[in-house]
Structure 1
Amino acid sequence: MTQPTVLPPLPRLPNAVPRSGVSTEARRALRQLLDDMDRALATAFRDGADASALARRRGDSVGRVVVHVWTACLGDVTGAALFAIGGFGRGLLFPRSDVDLLALVQHSDAARMRALEQFFATLWDIGLKVGHAVRDVEQCRALAAQDASVFTSLLDARRLAGDAAMEDALASIVDDPALWPPAPYLAARLAERDARHARYNDTAYNLEPNVKDGPGGLRTLDSLRWLGHRLAHADDFDDMEHEGLLDPAERSTLEEAEATLRRYRYALHLEAGRAEERLLFDYQRALAARLGFEDEHEKNLGVEQFMQGYYRAASQVERLGVQIAERFEEMLEPPSEPRPVGEDFLRYGSRLAVRDPDLFMRRPSALVDVFILRLGEPGIVGFTADTMRRIHQATAHYGTTLGDTPEVLQAFLQLLRLGAPAVEALWRMNRHGLLASVLPAFGKVFGRMQYDLFHAYTVDEHTLRVLRNVARFADPAARQEFPMACGIWPTLEKPELMLLAALFHDIAKGRGGDHSVLGEEDARAFCARLGLPGSDVDLVAWLVRWHLLMSVTAQRQDITDPDVVQRFAESVGNRERLDHLYMLTIADIIGTSPKLWNGWKDRLLADLYTATRYALASDDELPRDASVRIQECRDEAMARLREEGFSEPVVTHVWNDFPEQSFLRHHPEQMAWQTAAILRAQGATPLIEVHPLSVRGTTELFVYTPDRDGLFAAVTAMLDRLHFSVMEARIFNTRNGMALDTFLLLDTESQQPATPERAEELKLRLHRALSQPGHTHQPSRRNMSRHLKHFQAVPKIAFATSADRTRLSLVCSDRPGLLAAVSQAMVEAEVRVHDARIATFGERVEDFFLISDRRNAPLGLAQQDRLLHALLDRLGSGKRAQA
């Protein structure tokens, strides 16, 4: 909360202004005056003064100084004037904002240009960061005619000093109806908006948003004023309300959001000490503390509350900005005759309107009906301005009671039963604030962020993206990318259940406790209010409760192990749940961050889905006898090898040395490829083979060489140097002492399989490295990214011992070369690696290793402690933690 504003006084400047420039002593005094003013303003902000008032006071103060220097350098000049433009023209200067100036002259003689150069140099010398232009009237007119942004900058121009007659010259440009008439100007502003938004991923929900230029930022509010000025002669939001472009609630929303954004920008400039407009991770925690946000609990941190304040303000501005732009477009459209659409609505050209102005107040279910109707009307681009206003007024009137109105709930269920098309309507309902009224729990996660690198969007934005991903499964064009999911979608008897699960899966984030458990309760209650049958309620609630089960099982466990698949199948219970969970899992991963989805995860989930479907279809449990799986793999791999021209005795001779586990843990395609490589090598080692795109959606690296301690570390060090990420590693030994090591890789930067050129480079470089068995292969040293530095936590390391192996669990923050560093620690502790599962979730890594000592026995307590210390030392943690 801001306190009543107590502003520092305006600076006192000398009454007499010299006409021969500003002396060194005077410059020093002006610099000190500005510094004193900035300190006083910063203190006032810390004490709770309003950011807008402080920015205006700084604008007034700097304006006085600028005028003082102008008078000293140019005197009472004719034919020239100084104008403030940009934010300074609007009377606002944030702590580190540029001072944008335009010197408009009738003609540019040498003496005047020298005086202007002295003027601008003096401003820089006293500490002002000046952006300036010197133009005559014709130059100004020509540039304004060519570039809408130049024309726009003149709309805010405010004369500070000089010849008053030049105001009329500038007004002749700004008021010229031939320069940027309303329609072209609107088109230019919208094109600029779209281009600007594209630079920021077209969303207000970036992890490090730009408070000025990002979607929903302060620039959006400025653009609305510019459009109002040019198209409706409405200079501010009060005027726009008077002209019917805003209603009182919308004006209030914009003003409140603007106050929040200005407060955040003011604090950001002070925290950064420069004109920084991005809420970088470097500043977010400090800004939250500066503005008084405190941790409520571990799932509602102060920094998360701070960012939620930003996201809510920005999303409100973005939503209203789009709608007001539509009203401007409607205002410029030629009038059209109404055409009836159903009993309650009319169509004016490409826009829908209500017949009865009181329809939404009289029958609230029509609030949902109008969005259903829009789906079936081709060519509709939106609602009329009056209809939009009535939607907002009715939504505000009913508030969260809409979710308790049976007629509204039935209309909402009717919408969901449309399946994939309903998603577009849900997205539009959210744009108008209606979705949170029908579903109040959704309103609680509006703008809710999670302070990590894993979740790229706020919870509400993520949920809508998940819904859109689900809808893609109904699109035949997506079948090539999602063949199994697209095959499942048409088989769903009730697609509305899939949409409900997507709506509720994260709806309890930020409340404390397990969001899956709390979300299940919310889902049950809402589905019951919808009047769904008990079995349908159970399905939606189960999906919400266990929406992470498939992802966790696939990425953290060995799904080639029949026991793992059997336990997962028992948890799922039936084919219907499996189908829904598979689609929800894919949609959820992609909707969390586009960078998380890759071919390896696609293949991993598909393999788990197929194996589980087999288990559920069988009358008996999935065969647990490993010999059955081993024989199936051997038979199929042998068939493939025979097709390649290899005889069965030759293949069997090689396989006699293989451990049976290799046939259990690998696909037949992999076994055939690796065996063929060994046979073609005719005993030459080290054998390095690289398959750019393997059966698992990754690049597969196969290493066959005499086993030695440190081999895993040498391979991972080279992979790190070549910027490959290890998704999975299988470490086996033949009976005659050869290593059979398989690594599934993705390019670290693109998270895609390697190109053929990269695959060949890896093969050559690794062969060269492993041909020097005595050489120590250290991982490369790379700096940690700026993002990762803010998310470093104490590693959690756990050991579990079975009959013949020790299981190491490592949960820690990601960093460059992490796996290579872990491998080096294992070399130091004299530990061997037999299997590895690598999983990265944003900045969080969860790796699992099967390890032993050099005698292939489980680690004793002393060696576990030695490895623990080696890992912590390698990971750079001064703290020692063992979970």
Structure 2
Amino acid sequence: MNHPVAAGPVAAPLDAADDAAWASAARTTLAQADERLARRFDRGDDIDRLLALRARAVDHLLKAAWSRCIPVDAPLALFAVGGYGRGELFPHSDIDVLVLADHRAQQASHEALARLFAMLWDAGLHASHAVRSTTQCTEAAADITVLTAMIEARPLVADDHAQAALADAIAATRVWPAREYFIAKGEEQRARHARFGDTSDNLEPNLKDGPGGLRDLHTLGWMAQRSFGVRELQPLIGLGHLGSDEAAALERERRALQRLRYGLHLVAGRAEERLRFDYQKMLAERLGFADDAQNLGVEQMMQGFYRSAALVRRINDRLLQRFEEQFDGAAVPEPLDARFELRRGYLAARSDDWPHDDIAEVFALFAMWAAQPRVRGLHSHTARALAEALPALPAYDAATPVSREDFMALLRGPQPVATLERMARLGVLGRWLPAFAQVSGRMQFDLFHVYTVDQHTLAVLRNLAAFASDTPDERFAMAHEVWPRLRKPELLLLAGLFHDIAKGRGGDHSELGAVDARAFCTAHGLGEADTGLIAWLVEKHLLMSVTAQKQDIADPEVIHRFATIVADRVRLDHLYLLTCADIAGTSPKLWNAWKDRLLADLYTATRLALRRGLEHPVAAAERIAENRSAATALLAEQGIDAAESAALFARMPAESFLRARAEPLAWQAAALRDTRPGSTVVRVRELAGHAGAFEVFVHSPDRDGLFASIVITLDRLLGLAIQQARALDGPNGTIFDSFEVVNADPRYAPGAAQIERSLAAALSGPLESIRPSRRTQPRHLRHFRIAPQVAFDRSPDGRHSVLSVVCTDRPGLLADLAHVLRAQRLRVHDARIATFGERAEDVFIIGDASDQALDDTQQQALRDALLARIDGENAG
């Protein structure tokens, strides 16, 4: 303080008119200074110089006002605090000041201080002020926000004694020791990030408080000051906490963010921190961004911001981790393998010169990360080594085949979406796939897309990962039912990765993206069938959305056209899931129950249309060859050589190799091994991971009524509910029928061996004696009644009829339908039985007693019999 207080200081004479005149002149002076600074900003002057000059201009006016109001011998001290204390002041930022005075001085100077703050307000200096004694400073510092403002105190009118008194009042020995301060500010930052959805890639990001914004840089500075006594980040290099490259990057991005914020204040004409749509174009123009053939100027500016914010977050994470180690000491390494270890839960490379500019080492790191769910994150030293190695890592088209296979292994391994997110955040995905780097931070200047292209892509991938979860996402009616049918989920992930990757290049991004996807898949050794599927999904990823939302999906012609384009069930399943994930990943407000229902209805109608005969499997020959090869490999593990496998496959329907997976095909082939052609084979096994669920396989010479007898036996004698079924005609007058069943009554739960014995015994006797049970529909299904639909069509070869039945599922339904077919003396050549929630969709390829297609009279008789049976049971 200047002097001890003996009596109240003598205030300068109060002259309201004179004060008003001074305030008016000060306002003019400040406005003129701001105009000069704005012109210098537009010329591209150094941003730090502009911020310092504005702080200096305010300092001058503030000191002048102080001298008018406060006697020179008054025991008061004036400090700039907060951002103003750092000496950086944006065009419309408030100024924060602290007056340090003991209680007697505060009372004696009350009127003088009131006059001061009134004059500042009239001059256009919106000052947030506090008047405190040293004791009050210590007490107020219990609030970490207040303390943070005071640790940046810069003396304006204060001698050495006052400066030392303030420093002592808020010293770490009195309040907020360094470690506690670090922990609290870290939690504060996490909470602040959470308010912005933990992403900077929002449509209207906050330059100051958003993730990766200026506040993150300030937080690092505050932590460094409290922990190490340094006011800048540069000294942290010498302390070993910050690399020179990291310091240079933070300095570069700080300047970029400050320039955006300065310009935003200018175009908004007020203290605006949110980069709103209203200002984005004006700011881009003011900063000199111009539209080009591919990108709007505003999109170029925003991409620069998003990339700056991403880099700030990346380095911010590393520094926080190093500060933590400073407080808690070096961790005892926990080796994981020869290359990696855990340090305080963070994954670290054991070698000091990792990754040797080797992409294989990088992929090994992500594989280890995915395999270790307890990993907290990447260790800061390893993260920095990875960042330094990025420029030397090859893109996929310049990498070795082994490295490409390593990448595909990551997609097929645990947590593939989390791995892709980590690779994107750390810059690896952009190096491996340069097209992804081009859309990183790329925004679209509209109200429809609320995320950058890369963040939207990652949101789509997260939605796809949610479909695989054991807990269904209630927002999606059918996604959790469709996902398990995917043979290779990584194909859908690749389609999600590429679906928007060509945004901003000009032309149709779907077509351009399909070209990129095909090149990528071919380079990574995917077969033509898989490559074709991914490229088709990328090219057609908007088809289902447009059809559902812009066309009348109640019109059979619309469904027919859509089903013709989709062509097969594999495409439909993938396209449905990609469409759901894409719409829901575009904006949190875009997905709703209406769109969910539209897509589910289109999916259901198309699925049925394909099963009725519109389906034309794409790349059928390649799928068959792939399944035969995989099944042969599985049989080889059982000691069955390729020649014997081929002989077993010759006894099986060719179509089964198109529809089924390799593992059940190998199981069925092995079941035929010890049987002579023409004998009856019944095999049953429990489905892995599904207690009380079984797979049933029946191979036998065909007989009239055989399908119905199998179904009725499973239902009536064994109490098994059939969830899915497929009946196929095999070579030489045989049948290949497969069923997935579950115990309908837990009190009676037969095992696989009992089911096998009972079914084989029933089929060895007369089939006519096997009749279905009469059952009452369960109470809960009565609330979900679907109006029965019975439809007929011709089979693709024209020889038989295609019967489709859609109705409410219930216990014994399939047995009843099969019994009607048998009673009508109809032959079943193929059956595709499926249940979706309460909805049963059963499709049969049937012929009459002469094995011909049904005529109109026969169709009507069958329709009446089926509806009577369905309605009779539902009414029961």
Mark yes or no: TM-score above 0.5. Answer: yes
Provide the C-alpha distance between the structure 2 equivalents of 1:621 and 1:273, rounded to a whole number of angstroms: 62
Offset of 1:487 from its aligned partner? 2.0
Among 193, 196, 206, the alignment partner of 1:197 is: 193
AA in 2 matched with 1:412: F
- Residues 228 and 235 in structure 1, CA contact (< 8 A), matched pair in contact too: yes
Q: What does 1:180-329 align with in structure 2 at a 5 Å threshold?
A: 180-297=176-293, 300-329=295-324
Residue 568 of structure 2 contacts residue 615 of structure 2 at CA under 8 Å; is this kept in 1? Answer: no
- Matched with 1:712 is none
SS of alignment partner, residue 212 of structure 1: coil
C-alpha deviation, 1:405, in angstroms: 4.4
The corresponding residue for 2:556 is: 562
CA–CA separation in structure 1 for the residues paired with 2:43 and 2:394: 35
The residue number in structure 1 matching 2:161 is 165
Kept in 2: contact 1:81–1:103 (CA 8 A)? yes
Amino acid of the structure 2 residue aligned with 1:140:
C
Are 2:579 and 1:585 equivalent residues in the alignment? Answer: yes
After TM superposition, give the deviation of residue 176 of structure 1 in Å: 2.6
In structure 2, relative to structure 1, the CA distance for the partners of 1:233 and 1:382 (3 Å cut) is farther
Q: Name the amino acid aligned to 1:113.
A: H
Corresponding residue for 1:369?
Answer: 364
What is the match of residue 550 of structure 1?
Answer: 544
Q: In the TM superposition, what whole-angstrom CA distance separates every residue of 1:369-399 from its partner, at most 9, and x where no partner exists?
A: 1121112224210232211111111113336
Indicate the residue corresponding to 2:72 in structure 1: 76
The one-letter code matched in structure 2 to 1:57 is L
Match of 1:65 among 61, 65, 70: 61
Tell me, in whole angstroms, the C-alpha distance in 2 between the residues paired with 1:35 and 1:606. 61
AA in 2 matched with 1:111: A
**Is the CA contact 1:77–1:163 (under 8 Å) kept in the aligned structure 2?**
no
Answer whether contact 1:82 1:101 (CA < 8 A) is retained.
Answer: yes
> Structure 1 residues 68, 399: closer, same or farther in 2, change over 3 A?
farther
Paired with 1:668 and 1:619, the residues of 2 have a C-alpha distance of: 19
Q: Which amino acid is 1:572 matched to?
A: V
| SS of structure 2 residue aligned to 1:502 | helix
Q: Distance in 2 between matches of 1:166 and 1:519?
A: 65
Cα distance in 2, alignment partners of residues 327 and 603 from structure 1? 50
Amino acid at match of 2:520: F
CA distance in 1, matches of 2:585, 2:109: 59
C-alpha contact (below 8 Å) 1:77/1:162 kept by paired residues? no
- State how far apart, in whole Å, the 2-side matches of 1:390 and 1:167 are: 42
The residue that corresponds to 2:469 in the other structure is 475
1:1-40 Cα shifts (integer Å, max 9, x gaps): xxxxxxxxxxxxxxxxx95466444333323221211111
Instruction: Return the offset for 1:491.
Output: 2.5
The CA deviation at 1:518 is 0.9
- Whole-Å separation in 1 of the counterparts to 2:210 and 2:366: 28
Contact persistence 2:397–2:523 (CA under 8 A)? no
Instruction: Extract unaligned runs of 5+ from structure 1.
Output: 1-17, 623-639, 649-666, 670-694, 696-883
Matched with 2:589 is: 595
Letter in 1 for 2:283: L
- The CA distance in 1 between the partners of 2:27 and 2:192, in whole Å, is 36
* CA distance in structure 2 between the aligned counterparts of 1:376 and 1:486, rounded to whole angstroms: 24
Kindly report which structure 2 residues correspond to 1:473-622, keeping only aligned pairs within 5 A, or say none.
Answer: 473-478=467-472, 480-482=474-476, 484-619=478-613
The one-letter code of the counterpart of 1:439 is L
Residue 462 of structure 1: CA displacement?
Answer: 0.4
Equivalent residue runs for 1:719-730 within 5 Å: none
Larger Rg: 2
Q: Tell me which residue corresponds to 1:134.
A: 131
Task: For residue 493 of structure 1, report the CA deviation from its aligned partner.
Answer: 2.1
Q: Which amino acid aligns with 1:545?
A: E
Structure 1, residues 198-219: CA drift from partner, whole Å, max 9, x if none? 3323321221221111222111
Q: How far did residue 77 of structure 1 move?
A: 3.5
Report deviation, 1:416.
Answer: 0.5
User: Do the aligned residues in 2 keep the contact of 1:80 with 1:163 (CA within 8 Å)?
Assistant: no
Tell whether the 8 Å contact from 1:575 to 1:616 is kept in structure 2 after alignment.
yes
Is the Cα contact below 8 Å between 2:461 and 2:497 reproduced in 1?
Answer: yes
3-state SS of the aligned residue for 1:102?
A: strand
- Counterpart residue identity of residue 422, structure 2: R
SS where residue 180 of structure 1 aligns?
coil
Q: Distance in 2 between matches of 1:255 and 1:41?
A: 22
Residue 347 of structure 1 corresponds to which residue in structure 2? 342
Q: 3-state SS of the aligned residue for 2:109?
A: helix
Once the two structures are TM-superposed, the CA of residue 348 in structure 1 deviates from its matched residue by 2.2
1:96 aligns with 2:60: no
Q: For residues 524 and 807 of structure 2, what CA distance do their matches in structure 1 show?
A: 49
Question: In 1, distance between residues paired with 2:501 and 2:393?
Answer: 22
Aligned amino acid, residue 48 of structure 2? S
Q: Is the Cα contact below 8 Å between 2:513 and 2:538 reproduced in 1?
A: yes
**1:266 Cα shift?**
1.0
- State whether structure 2 residue 45 is matched by structure 1 residue 52: no
580-589 vs 121-130, which moves further: 121-130
| Residues 499-508 or 356-365, more deviating | 356-365
For residues 475-509 of structure 1, the C-alpha deviation after alignment (integer angstroms, 9 at most, x for no partner) is: 11125443522122222221111111111110111
The whole-number CA distance in structure 1 between the counterparts of 2:474 and 2:611 is: 26
Give the conservation status (yes or no) of the 8 Å contact 2:20–2:119: no
The 1:399–1:143 alpha-carbon spacing in structure 2 relative to 1, beyond 3 Å, is farther
Aligned pair in 2 of structure 1 residues 516, 136: CA closer, same or farther (>3 Å)? same
User: Which residue of 118, 121, 126 corresponds with 2:118?
Assistant: 121
Q: Is residue 448–residue 458 contact of structure 1 (8 Å, CA) maintained in 2?
A: yes
* Structure 1 pair 398–235 and aligned structure 2 pair: CA distance change class (3 A): farther
CA contact (8 A) 2:342 2:348 kept: yes
SS in structure 1 at match of 2:34? helix
Task: Decide which moves more: 600-609 or 354-363.
Answer: 354-363
AA aligned opposite 2:130? A
Please name the residue that 1:153 is paired with.
Answer: 149
Cα distance change, pair 40–614 in 1 and its aligned pair in 2 (3 A): same
The change in CA–CA distance for 1:275 and 1:399 in structure 2 (over 3 A counts) is farther
Whole-Å separation in 2 of the counterparts to 1:29 and 1:277: 29
- SS of the residue aligned with 2:403? helix
SS at the partner of 1:592?
coil
How many angstroms does 1:458 deviate by? 0.4
Q: Is 1:402–1:437's contact at 8 Å kept on the other side of the alignment?
A: no
1:391 alignment partner in structure 2: 386
Shift in Å at residue 579 of structure 1?
Answer: 0.9
Structure 2 unaligned regions, length at least 5: 1-10, 617-778, 788-805, 809-835, 837-876
Q: TM-score, normalised by structure 1?
A: 0.66
Matches of 1:522 and 1:426, distance apart in 2: 18
Structure 2 residue identity aligned to 1:86: G
Alpha-carbon offset, residue 285 of structure 1: 1.5
Query: Aligned to 1:171, what secondary structure does the other structure show?
Result: helix
CA deviation digits over 1:145-182, x for unaligned, max 9? x2111111112111110343111111113433352123
Correspondence for 1:870: none
User: In structure 2, how many angstroms separate the alpha carbons of the residues matched to 1:462 and 1:518?
Assistant: 18
Would the alpha carbon gap of residues 168 and 400 (structure 1) be closer, same or farther in structure 2, given more than 3 Å must change?
A: farther
Letter in 1 for 2:242: L
- 2:299–2:445: 8 Å Cα contact kept in structure 1? yes
Q: Deviations over 1:786-817 (max 9, x none)?
A: xxxxxxxxxxxxxxxxxxxxxxxxxxxxxxxx
Output the amino acid matched with 1:177.
Answer: T
Secondary structure of the residue aligned to 2:384 is: helix
RMSD: 2.6
Deviation at 1:565, TM superposition (A): 0.9
- Shift of the 380–77 alpha-carbon distance from structure 1 to 2, 3 Å rule, reads farther
Q: Residues 491 and 233 (structure 1 numbering): CA distance in 2 closer, same or farther, change over 3 Å?
A: farther
